[in-house]
Copies of this chain bind each other. A is one copy, B any other.
Amino acid sequence: MESENGADEAGNGRNNHEEKFHDAEDGLCRGNGNPDEGDARGKPGQGSGDIIARMPVPKYATHYKMDHKKRGLAYIFNHEFFQCGGLKARSGTNEDCKNLKACLLFLGFDVLEFKDLNYTDIEYQIREVARMDHTHHDCLLIAVLSHGEMGIIYAKDTPYKPDYLWSSFTADRCPTLAGKPKLFFLQACQGDKLDGGINLSKTETDGECYNTYRIPVQADFLIVYSTVKGYYSWRNTTKGSWFIQSLCEELKQKALHYDLMTILTFVSQRVALDFESNVPDSITMHRQKQIPCLMSMLTRLIQFTPPK
């Protein structure tokens, strides 16, 4: 019966799981003795597969629905001063924050700004927004402007794993955002490698509608890092970070004309080509480059519509 549902959901003639064909996983095949299976969201009893959320868009729509009553909430966690690790103040971050806020308001978001929060306060805000009813919202956006290192980001008082920011919004934990884009923007270092760059010189859709369909709880996330794993992320002490400057400029110019992944590719181009570090007093830090990193678990295109 369950496998029949399976066959139904495969639907659309694209894929049919015939009973005689079984699926295997490309892992260690530890089977039920698997020590980590407690983590499995699909574990019986914790079966998120039984949770039912509202379908925001027809199953095979090419684009996310961006005409709900509201665009949605945008949280900006802006960090200038720190009380840990002897971290320097992030001069220019208020420029980023102002710039980003204006841009998100232009896109129709309800923007909330948080300055120099401790981790417990960030945790509280995330928990609260995950609890809210986003039924009439297109999406959710969370931006963090801070210091970072490989795999961590800094609150005012302590480092934390950014994964926490998105793990609260999986479709099983925040059903009113299920099937909607959840957007995360991180302006922070991911390590302390430098990218010296290289010189290039010239020498030469359709959506059908089903009554019910099933999605992975990890789907519909977009996580944008200002830099790649292991590398520095640069900030102009007066104009703000290269990434946020570029993001805002591209969104202002193109948000209503291209889908978001395309725009973010142009943001990467801008960061990669138009900037290089200007630290004349340090030959090591001078003239360095940066490239952002887009991590997409999206299942449709995001096209911003003019806000109401």
| A contact residues vs B (CB 8 Å cutoff) | 2-3, 5-6, 9-12, 14-15, 17, 19, 21-32, 34, 36-37, 39-44, 46-56, 59-60, 62, 85, 87-88, 90-92, 146-149, 171-172, 175, 178-179, 187-189, 191-205, 209-219, 226, 228, 230-239, 241-242, 245, 249, 259, 261-262, 265-266, 268-270, 272-280, 282-301
Cα of A120 to Cα of B298 in the assembled complex, Å: 36
Cα of A28 to Cα of B148 in the assembled complex, Å: 8
Chain B residues with Cβ under 8 A from A26's Cβ?
A: 90, 146-148, 187-189, 226, 232-235, 241
Main secondary structure of the interface of A (DSSP, over half): loop
A284 touches B216 (CB 8 A): no
Chain B residues with Cβ under 8 A from A238's Cβ?
A: 21
| Contact for A51 among B23, B29, B37, B199, CB less than 8 A | B199
What is the chain B residue whose CB lies nearest that of A55? B200
B22 touches A202 (CB 8 A): no
What is the chain B residue whose CB lies nearest that of A48? B196
B272 touches A22 (CB 8 A): no
A202 touches B55 (CB 8 A): yes
Cα of A67 to Cα of B166 in the assembled complex, Å: 40
Q: How many copies of this chain?
A: 2
What is the chain B residue whose CB lies nearest that of A186? B26
Chain B residues with Cβ under 8 A from A9's Cβ?
A: 273-274, 276
| Contact for A294 among B171, B296, B300, CB less than 8 A | B296
Cα of A8 to Cα of B239 in the assembled complex, Å: 18
Cα of A23 to Cα of B233 in the assembled complex, Å: 10
Chain B residues with Cβ under 8 A from A241's Cβ?
A: 26
| Contact for A42 among B90, B172, B195, B202, CB less than 8 A | B195
9 additional A-B residue pairs with CB within 8 Å, beyond A17-B276, A17-B278: A3-B286, A6-B276, A37-B194, A39-B192, A55-B201, A200-B214, A215-B272, A262-B262, A273-B299
B219 touches A27 (CB 8 A): no
Chain B residues with Cβ under 8 A from A214's Cβ?
A: 197-200, 273, 276, 289
B49 touches A287 (CB 8 A): yes
| Contact for A2 among B41, B234, B286, CB less than 8 A | B286
B262 touches A301 (CB 8 A): yes
A24 touches B201 (CB 8 A): no
A44 touches B284 (CB 8 A): yes
* Listed A/B pairs (13) with beta-carbon separation below 8 Å: A12-B274, A19-B278, A22-B278, A24-B92, A25-B232, A28-B87, A42-B289, A43-B284, A49-B289, A216-B290, A219-B272, A265-B296, A265-B300
Cα of A297 to Cα of B228 in the assembled complex, Å: 8
| Contact for A273 among B60, B87, B187, CB less than 8 A | B60
Chain B residues with Cβ under 8 A from A50's Cβ?
A: 199
**5 closest Cβ pairs, A-B complex:** A42-B196, A27-B189, A40-B194, A216-B289, A55-B200
B228 touches A218 (CB 8 A): yes
